[in-house]
Chains A and B, each alone.
Chain A
């Protein structure tokens, strides 16, 4: 059995709701087939909270093993460093989390809030929140960047707002099955964060030929004008569809880069910042001069069916 404890800190509960949508594997599969024993999940546990108190006490006294600790939500440190904007039984959740992580074989940050601070850390960051091991993109959050769990791993960041349902359940299944989980430079599992959002986007042909939408509700690419960050963001949204069906970009909604540590960006989220005619932020690692040459050529080569937006995304 793999004992799992899930705590919510500064959270909307969206990662829990997202995980209930997982289908490969589903939450039931984790329990039925992967031997995960949910010691506590705030939305699903039915026992009185006394059980959580007893569990925490037993974990801290090394009487209960804690294989996986999942944290959902920003770590709230305000007001004045007390953490009391998010209390638990007269103390801060922040201090509780700090104690529990030391007892866990693995610690998993579920969502961008727990990973990097997330939407609650947007300016002016009213509650002084940060992530478990990062503060936005800066190393070091509640825990220093050198921190390691009992199994020798840093906090595993399954970022996303919310985290992709199957990225959460697959990571848990990997940990429960003893499969290795390799992490990227932001401590995200590479299995889910080595794919650009726009890989698999059904508007990709419009992107290739530089046929760009300037208003919503159309068929073209959203990158040049409407704020889409699909070419700069890593996530599986278009290679493992949401709710088994679609993705934001397929449905004509820009990618807001919600798996990135700086989500949500400070500027206008529905407009692409540009220098002249060219976006300030180009597809990941592309050189500006090369990009401009390629784009003008691509536009020249565009077939009419694409130029006239005859193709359905």
Chain B
């Protein structure tokens, strides 16, 4: 039996991630997910005025800054008990959805599908079609994704001034109303993106496609017409299934979703008690049931992280982030290990759809379990749902002309106290926990979606979700492990991740 340790480096937007894998005869027996970049945001926020979080925290992530901004403003509003008018909720939702559509298109067609053009697959019957669609800078879908992800972001610019990194969600609402010019511009942009999605991504009208509910209906759709089979999702699905991605990369069965998009009809309720358009919950993988979500059940462990140690797990309101870099110890990452009800969980579009009760994703999950293809498919299915939901939002805004877009807070200072903001970013559950003392931030803890998924081991030695989705996998060629690329990219680890092994001669440690 040959045993070796290999390291896989990945680049992505929110920081760098490496994997250190232990292989026995090409089978992965242990995995360590290493967040290797430390930037110190939680320390930078200490001592600043609470509102500054609206400028600083979007800069945590270049691809989901709108979601960061929303989490920050919800935490401030929760702390100060500030009401928000329905139009502000609609404008926020519209921008959050546009950002997620952008991220889903880029993740799917700039980062995930490019792997199908790998020379390893040249013998497959779909290879030529895959290249024509997905080849970087040349494929038709690749170029479409570049163009239409730009257009959808123009909607955010209309309300927020720019994307990325603006601060237009402020306590009490948003800075700009939805006037009729903005609404028609937004509708035109949305229509342009939706028409492309229908023509190139699904090959049929959106409403009809979203009506597919069962496994049979879905596979009948796939085979019914060439326009479906050769659509971007058709090709992605057929290619994935031909190479077996529907059997790989399950990971932990437990899932969480914070729910997405505050319900404007429930505006009079304060965040976080406001209803949401997509439901929150905890999918208990042991029982298969969906249970109510309660943020007080979240803890973070640092046993295997480069932070000053404390025993067990701590809720973010008791959280502590003091760097303690110990590269030569058994600690291995800048990620903490978040746990929900002391369980390892995954988050992201698959978890969101299952917890929300979306029928098609639910049916596919029941049929085949969690896997890399379904995770990717759930993401693009969400894109379709969001395009539909954005249209609805624009029509609701148009139906209430002149409605207030902000309730300016009576008190200009954010009082002392604590609050949290939980949102669904493109990659899943994102939370900010804020405490204010003597008028300035005394604690700010952020748990990103990738922190849940890329979690290291916890105090009990239990692996995080990505780690466990790799353990047990057999790698064909440890010099170019495309399988790992598919699995990790299906989790959408903050933008692209380029998955790589070190050259055998250099850093690879081989034990006899």
- Name A21's contact: one of B110, B117, B163, B405 (CB within 8 Å): B163
Chain B: residues with Cβ within 8 Å of the partner, total of: 81
Complex formed: what's the CA distance from A134 to B136 in Å?
Answer: 35
Interface residue SS majority, chain A: loop
Identify 8 new A-B residue pairs, CB closer than 8 A, beyond the known A12-B14, A13-B12, A20-B146.
A23-B150, A43-B13, A44-B136, A89-B502, A216-B408, A245-B157, A250-B161, A252-B175
Query: Known contacts A46-B115, A85-B38, A246-B158; is A17 also within 8 Å of B164 by CB?
Result: yes
A-B contact pairs, 6 of them (CB 8 A): A50-B503, A79-B323, A120-B40, A243-B150, A248-B166, A269-B52
Interface residues of B (CB under 8 A from A): 9, 11-14, 16, 36-40, 43-44, 47, 49, 51-52, 54-56, 59-63, 65, 106, 110-111, 114-115, 117, 136-137, 143, 146, 149-150, 153-154, 156-168, 170, 172-177, 179, 185, 323, 325, 327, 405-406, 408, 412, 479-480, 494-496, 498-503, 507
A59 at the interface (CB under 8 A from B): no
A33 at the interface (CB under 8 A from B): no
Query: Known contacts A12-B59, A312-B179; is A31 also within 8 Å of B164 by CB?
Result: no
The 3 A-B pairs with the shortest beta carbon distances in the complex, nearest first, are A14-B62, A126-B40, A49-B500
Check A247–B36 contact: CB distance below 8 A.
no
| In the complex, chain A residues 8-46 whose Cβ is within 8 Å of any chain B Cβ | 8, 10-18, 20-21, 23, 26-28, 31, 42-46
Chain A residue with the shortest CB-CB distance to B334: A85
Closest chain B CB from A8 CB (angstroms): 7
Q: Which of B38, B43, B137, B327 has the most CB of A within 10 A?
A: B38
Check B498–A127 contact: CB distance below 8 A.
no
- Name B13's contact: one of A13, A27, A31 (CB within 8 Å): A13
Closest chain B CB from A123 CB (angstroms): 7
A178 at the interface (CB under 8 A from B): no
Complex formed: what's the CA distance from A50 to B7 in Å?
Answer: 12
Check A243–B157 contact: CB distance below 8 A.
yes
Check B406–A161 contact: CB distance below 8 A.
no
Closest chain B CB from A83 CB (angstroms): 11
Residues of the B chain whose Cβ atoms lie less than 8 Å from the Cβ of A99? none
| In the complex, chain A residues 247-267 whose Cβ is within 8 Å of any chain B Cβ | 247-254, 256, 258, 264, 267
Residues of the A chain whose Cβ atoms lie less than 8 Å from the Cβ of B143? 28
Complex formed: what's the CA distance from A258 to B146 in Å?
Answer: 26
Chain B residue with the shortest CB-CB distance to A51: B500
Residues of the B chain whose Cβ atoms lie less than 8 Å from the Cβ of A123? 44, 47
Complex formed: what's the CA distance from A242 to B36 in Å?
Answer: 32
Check A14–B65 contact: CB distance below 8 A.
yes
Residues of the A chain whose Cβ atoms lie less than 8 Å from the Cβ of B38? 76, 85-86, 126-127
Residues of the A chain whose Cβ atoms lie less than 8 Å from the Cβ of B500? 48-50
